């Protein structure tokens, strides 16, 4: 992964230690999906959007996870940084609460930018989302488990990288049950990032805006861009 060391991307002010811990958990889960992966931090005004990538490349779908945090003060940042560097910053902030600054906590965006995360250039729309249905927690969880088992069984010992890539693209690009074009990779990403619906919210809400589809629960959002049909 190519990186460019430039001036620091800026500082965002998180509202409290709980927000720091929440983002640290998100980064840790994203690193299990892609240890060498990246996060895109986009702050406009008083909201920070943190994008991570659940799936990309290999002819399969590109699936993103998104958490938003209300900031303690307005900021303007757009930077793609390594998950490892971001996780390190969050860990240090969790150990050192600034004195005399109230509950808010500064997070210095890592200076080293990731330059080759192609998915980070795919910006989902902010508006124009139309509700199109729901998907149950059971459907999402079962699809994630079944897909993981299928990939593990099909990509046996000695399987070549191209064979594994093709299998993953086929499994995670397959539509979720009850949908025409919502990729199963969205279930994997929701499960891996702990975004599946929790108690009191048995279903994830499904939205669409152009070629984008979004699953939303109280725990976060999963987004994917559907392919152009021939």
* Tokens linked to 71: 């900031």
Residue 89 lies in a domain: yes
Residue 89 · residue 107 · CB < 8 Å? yes
The answer on 21 and 81 residing in a single domain is yes
* Phi, psi angle pair for 35, to nearest 5°: -55, -30
The answer on 8 and 108 residing in a single domain is yes
Q: Which helix (H) or strand (E) holds 178?
A: none
What is the C-alpha separation between 172 and 67, in angstroms, rounded? 22
The answer on 136 and 31 residing in a single domain is no
Tens-place pLDDT, residues 119-156: 999 989 989 999 999 999 999 999 999 999 999 888 66
Instruction: Supply the pLDDT for residue 38.
Output: 96
Tens-place pLDDT, residues 154-181: 866 666 778 888 889 999 999 999 898 8
Per the model's pLDDT, the better-predicted residue between 227 and 218 turns out to be 218
What is the C-alpha separation between 182 and 179, in angstroms, rounded? 6
Structural domain of 183? 130-225
Q: What is the pTM of this model?
A: 0.89
Is residue 185's pLDDT more than 80? Answer: yes
Tens-place pLDDT, residues 80-93: 999 999 999 998 86
Is residue 228's pLDDT more than 80? Answer: no
Q: Which helix (H) or strand (E) holds 71?
A: strand 63-82
DSSP class of 60: S
């Amino acid at each position: 992964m190519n990186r460019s060391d430039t001036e620091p991307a800026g500082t965002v002010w998180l509202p409290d230690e709980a927000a720091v811990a929440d983002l640290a958990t998100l980064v840790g889960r994203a690193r299990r999906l892609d240890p060498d992966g990246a996060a895109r931090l986009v702050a406009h005004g008083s909201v920070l959007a943190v994008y991570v990538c659940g799936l990309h490349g290999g002819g399969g779908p590109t699936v993103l996870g998104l958490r938003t945090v209300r900031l303690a003060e307005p900021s303007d940042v757009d930077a793609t940084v390594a998950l490892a560097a971001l996780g390190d910053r969050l860990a240090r902030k969790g150990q050192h609460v600034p004195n005399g600054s109230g509950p808010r906590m500064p997070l210095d965006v890592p200076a080293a930018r990731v330059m080759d995360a192609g998915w980070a250039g795919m910006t989902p729309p902010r508006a124009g989302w139309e509700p199109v249905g729901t998907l149950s927690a059971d459907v999402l969880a079962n699809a994630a488990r079944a897909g993981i088992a299928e990939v593990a069984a099909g990509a046996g010992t000695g399987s070549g990288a191209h064979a594994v890539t093709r299998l993953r693209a086929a499994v995670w690009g397959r539509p979720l049950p009850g949908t025409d074009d919502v990729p199963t990779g969205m279930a994997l990403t929701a499960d891996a990032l702990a975004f599946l619906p929790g108690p009191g919210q048995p279903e994830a809400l499904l939205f669409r805006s152009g070629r984008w589809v979004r699953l939303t629960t109280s725990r976060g959002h999963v987004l994917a861009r559907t392919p152009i049909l021939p």
